[in-house]
Structure 1
Amino acid sequence: MHMPEPRRAGRRRRSAKVDGDARHLILDAAEELFAAQGFDATPTAAIATAAGVPKGLVFYYFPTKDSILSALMDERVPAHPIDDISAVVAPGDPATSLVNLDTALNLRAHHSSVLRVIMWREADTHPDVRRRLRRLRDQLLDVTARVLQASAPAPVRPGTVRACAAAWVSAMFAIASTDRLHALDGVPLPSADEVVNVAQVVAAGMTQLG
Structure 2
Amino acid sequence: MTAQAQHATRPTKRQLIIETAERLFAEHGYDATSTARIATEAGVPSGLVFYHFATKLDLLLAVVQERPSPSEVLRSAARARTVRGRLRSMVASMVEELENDRAARVIVFREAPGRPEIASRAAELFAGATETVADVLSGAEDLVADEARVQTAAELVVSRVFLDTVALAQDEPAVKRHAAMIELIAESLTSGVRVRS
Q: TM-score, normalised by structure 2?
A: 0.82
The aligned counterpart of 1:85 is 75
Query: Which of residues 201, 206, 210 is equivalent to 2:184?
Result: 201
Q: How does 1:103-142 map to 2 (within 5 A)?
A: 103-105=92-94, 106-111=96-101, 113-115=103-105, 117-142=106-131
Q: What does the per-residue CA deviation read over 1:10-37, in whole Å, with 9 as the maximum and x for residues that have no partner?
A: xxxxxxx9xx722121111101100101
Structure 1 unaligned runs (5+)? Answer: 1-16
Larger Rg: 1
The percent of aligned pairs where both chains have the same amino acid is: 31
How many residue pairs are counted as aligned between the two chains? 185
Say if 1:98 and 1:199, in contact at 8 Å, map to a contact too. yes
Q: Which of the pair is proportionally richer in helix?
A: 2
Q: Distance in 2 between matches of 1:32 and 1:86?
A: 29
The aligned counterpart of 1:27 is 18
Amino acid of the residue matched to residue 127 of structure 1? P
Query: Which of residues 33, 44, 52 is equivalent to 2:43?
Result: 52
Q: Distance in 2 between matches of 1:111 and 1:79?
A: 12
The aligned counterpart of 1:14 is none
The aligned counterpart of 1:156 is 145
The aligned counterpart of 2:134 is 145
Question: Alignment partner of 2:155: what SS?
Answer: helix
Report deviation, 1:153.
0.9
Amino acid of the residue matched to residue 209 of structure 1? R
Q: Distance in 2 between matches of 1:103 and 1:199?
A: 11
Root-mean-square deviation (Å): 2.6
Deviates more, 1:168-177 or 1:41-50: 168-177
Query: Which of residues 83, 104, 108 is equivalent to 1:94?
Result: 83
Q: Distance in 2 between matches of 1:120 and 1:176?
A: 11
Q: TM-score, normalised by structure 1?
A: 0.77
